[in-house]
Amino acid sequence: MQTTSSTWTILDSAHAALRSAVAGVDDWSRPTPCEAWTVAQVLQHAAGDQQAYAATLGEGAFPSYDPFAPSGAFDGDALELIEPPLAAASLAFSRIAADAPAVAVPLPQGSLTAPIAVGAAALDAGVHAWDIAVATGQPSPIDDELATRLHAVALVIVEPLRGFAYADVLRGDDAGALGTLLRYLGRDPHWAPSL
C-alpha cells in the first residue's frame, strides 16, 4: 500500500507510527488506555480525527460518523480504513506553507500557526498509535525524538481540551520523553490491559 508524504516530518512520523501500530493488531476487541474504548474504537476515532483535519482544510468530506462515539465495528482491512484519512491529511497539510500564520483546525481554539496545526494532527495520530500498540502488546511506535516534538505541541494546545479529549496531568517521575508526553496527556506510561 502506497503512503502519502506531507512534507511535514512530524506528521509523517506520527502517521508511520499509527500505520505500524495498526498493522500489528491481532485482536480488535482488547481494552485500551482510552477508557471504555476497544482497539477498534480507537482506530475509528483516529481515522475520523485525521479525516476531520483534512476536511477542515478542504480535502475531502468530514467523517460520516462521530469520532467521539465510535461503534467499534468495521468491515475489511484496518489499514484500508485508516489509509484514506491519513493520505487526505497528508495531502491537505502538504499545501500549507511553513510560515502560515492561521491554519484552520477542527479544534475549539480555531486557527493555529502552521507548525502547531500540523503538530496537533500529528499529536492525535501519535498518541492513538501508542494507545493501540500498548493495548495489543506491541512496543511503543513513538521514539524519544517524536515524543519531544509532540510534547512541545501539546503544551500549546492541550489545556482547552482537558476533560474532553485529554485527562488531567498524571504526576510521576518517568524518565524519558515518551513518559513525559504521556503523563502530560493524562495517560499512564505503565498502562497495561488487565488480564
Cβ 117 vs Cβ 99: under 8 Å: no
- Indicate the SS3 state at residue 31: strand
pLDDT confidence bin for 5, thresholds 50/70/90: low
pLDDT confidence bin for 6, thresholds 50/70/90: low
Residue ranges of domains in the chain = 9-184
Q: Among 5-14, 22-31, 111-120, 181-190, whose mean pLDDT is lowest?
A: 5-14
pLDDT for residue 42 is more than 60: yes
Report the pLDDT value the prediction gives residue 163, as an integer from 0 to 100: 83
pLDDT tens sequence across 49-103: 999 999 999 999 999 999 999 999 988 899 999 999 999 999 999 999 999 999 9
Burial group, residue 80, by CB count within 10 angstroms (0-12, 13-18, 19+) = exposed
Question: b/e for 53-66, b at 16 or more Cβ within 10 A?
Answer: bbbbbebbeebeee
pLDDT for residue 1 is more than 50: no
CATH architecture of 9-184: Up-down Bundle (1.20)
